[in-house]
Structures are given as structure tokens and as C-alpha cells.
Amino acid sequence: MKVVDKVVVVTGAGAGMGRELTLELVRRGAKVAAIDLRPEGLAETKTQAEQIGGRIETFVVDVTDGDAVAKLPAQVESTLGSADVLLNNAGIIQPFVKINELTIEQAARVMNVNFNGPFLMVKAFLPGLLAKSQAHILNVSSMGAYAPVPGQSVYGASKAAVKLFTEGLRSEMIGTNVGVTIVFPGAIHTNIAQNSGMAMPANADAAESKFKMTEPGVAAKAMIDAIENNKARICIGGDATLMDRLSRLNPVFAANLIAKQMASLLK
């Protein structure tokens, strides 16, 4: 399905990849319901979208708030029309520490935002999407769902949960009008740590310089292309593609390789 003239709901739209997704969607003629917890970020996204002629409405909502999320479909419909596409992009990382040093509260927050958020959004919007002649759901997972990163173990677990949830949802949607896509981004050049309220290790910049990062605009175009071409799964970035293959061929070797590369960040 083409996104032109479609109503697309985007979570995490106030910054980073979510903002780039919003801008790419309006460039292609979609109407965007932009969701985020931070009103100031949403305001900037709206300004940029309207500068290029986009139709956008913003909604300040915590995706972990079940009551607020349940009201969203009606709110979106009253301003833009009923949703045709749900794009679950919102997510946070954990503090860059080992499991032994991670608090239960920190772990619960990561799971709540990264898994419960998409689950609640799907539960809220799926009935309306099933009533459409064409509709789509895209959930953003992570390379960390299949390639374990020390210091981000619970983050990886949350994204692995999104992976299996989305793959199961796709199987349930076979024979319906709703397409489903799971996305595995590798390292994307965004401020996810800052947006997650997390401090990165002092040597993080030096470690990140070893890896080629994908620009968020490139990632956004790949995701919208996946929706329009009804792709079941995509990897974004050479790192995600390589580790996807390596993790299938030799998962222990792949895990050891990442552990070696990331060891300096946990010292």
C-alpha cells in the first residue's frame, strides 16, 4: 500500500528516527498523527513537517499509559481520519551497566516502554485497522534482539520480545488486510541515550567511532519503503545485516565478537 493520503500513527515522533519518519511520511503525502511524551520535541517536529507542506497533528501521550493509549484511535480519527498505518518506533535504552548493577526499577521501565508500549498501541488500533481495505503495522525492534550487547541485556530482551510479538502478529494477520513488518536497525546516529535519560560511558564516543552508523533519514526511508512494499522484515545498516546472518550461522561466535568489541564500555 502507498502511504499517500493515508493516516499514519508514529510513536516517538518528537526526535531522532521518529522525527525523520514523520518528515519522510509527509514528503510522500501521508497525514501523520505524531505521538510522543515530550511536547517540546513534538512542537519542533510539527514545525518542520509543516514547513514542507505536511499535514500533522500531535498528541502528547505516554505509550505505557493504557487508558491514554485506548483513547488515541478516536482522537486521531476526530482530527485526521481513522488510522491506516501504525508505526511503533518509541523506545529507550537501559543504563550501560551489567545486569548485576541494573536495578529492578530500571529494567521494568525499559520493558514497559519498549514492549508494553507497542503492545498497548496494537491493541488500541488493531480493531480499526482490520476494518480498513488496506492497513499496516510496523514495529521497530533492534539488532540487539538477536545479537546480545553486554551492558544492554534487558534492552535486548525487550526488543527480542517485540520481535516475537510482531512475528506472531504477522502470522495471525495472514489472510487479512493488515500487513505487518518487523524492523531491526543497527547503530543509528540519534540521541537515544539522551532521550532515554541515560548517561553513556565516558569513552562511548571513542567506541562508537569504530562503527559506521546509519543516518536516521536513511533508516526512515527504508522503513516507509518496507510498508509500501509489504516487507515482513528488514535489517537497517550493514552492521545489522551482517550480525543477522552471523547470529544464524554461529550465534556463540557472534556473541563473543560483540562482547569483545564492547568490553571497553563496561570497564
Write out pLDDT tens, residues 82-99.
999 999 999 999 999 999
Question: Closest Cα to residue 36, out of 95, 98, 110, 89?
Answer: 89
Percentage of residues of the chain with pLDDT beyond 90: 88
Write out pLDDT tens, residues 180-228.
999 999 999 876 555 545 555 555 554 454 557 899 999 999 999 999 9
Cell 568490553, residue? 263
CB 74 within 8 A of CB 119: no
Residue 266, pLDDT score: 76
User: Rounded to 5 degrees, what are φ and ψ at 200?
Assistant: -85, 155
Count how many Cα atoms sit within 13 Å of the Cα of residue 171 in the half-sphere of its side chain.
5
- CA-CA-CA-CA torsion sign (136, 141, 142, 148): negative
Which of 90, 155, 161, 220 is labelled catalytic? Answer: 155
pLDDT of residue 200: 53
Asked if 107 contacts 153 with a C-beta cutoff of 8 angstroms, the reply is: no
Residues whose CB falls within 8 Å of the CB of residue 252, separated by 6 or more in sequence, listed in order: none
* Whole-number pLDDT of residue 207: 47
The pLDDT of residue 86: 98
User: What pLDDT was estimated at residue 263?
Assistant: 80
Domains in the chain (CATH in brackets) are 7-266 (3.40.50.720)
Q: What is the mean pLDDT of residues 38-60?
A: 98
Q: Is the pTM of this model over 0.85?
A: yes
Q: Phi first, then psi: give them for residue 181, nearest 5 degrees.
A: -130, 135
Find out whether 35 and 14 touch, Cβ atoms under 8 Å: no
Read off the pLDDT of each residue in 70-81 and give the average, rounded to a whole number: 98
- Judge whether residue 41 has pLDDT over 80: yes
Give the pLDDT band (50/70/90) at residue 172: very high
Predicted local distance difference test score (pLDDT) of residue 21 = 98
So what's the pLDDT on residue 201? Answer: 53
Q: Cβ neighbours of residue 116 under 8 Å, at least 6 residues apart?
A: 64
pLDDT of residue 264: 77
Q: pLDDT (tens digit, 9 = 90+) per residue, 223-243?
A: 999 999 999 999 999 999 999
| The predicted structure's pLDDT at residue 212 | 77
Active site residue 146: no
Q: What pLDDT does 206 receive? A: 46
**What residues form DSSP beta bridges with 57?**
33
Q: What mean pLDDT do residues 256-265 have?
A: 87
DSSP 116: I
How many whole angstroms separate alpha carbon 6 and alpha carbon 211?
A: 36
Pick the closest to residue 12 from 91, 86, 121 (CA basis).
91
Ordered strands of the 233-236 beta sheet: 55-60, 31-36, 7-11, 85-88, 135-140, 178-185, 233-236
Q: pLDDT by residue (tens digit) across 129-147?
A: 999 999 999 999 999 999 9
Per-residue pLDDT tens digits for 102-130: 999 999 999 999 999 999 999 999 999 99
> Distance between alpha carbon 3 and the CA centroid of its chain, in Å?
18
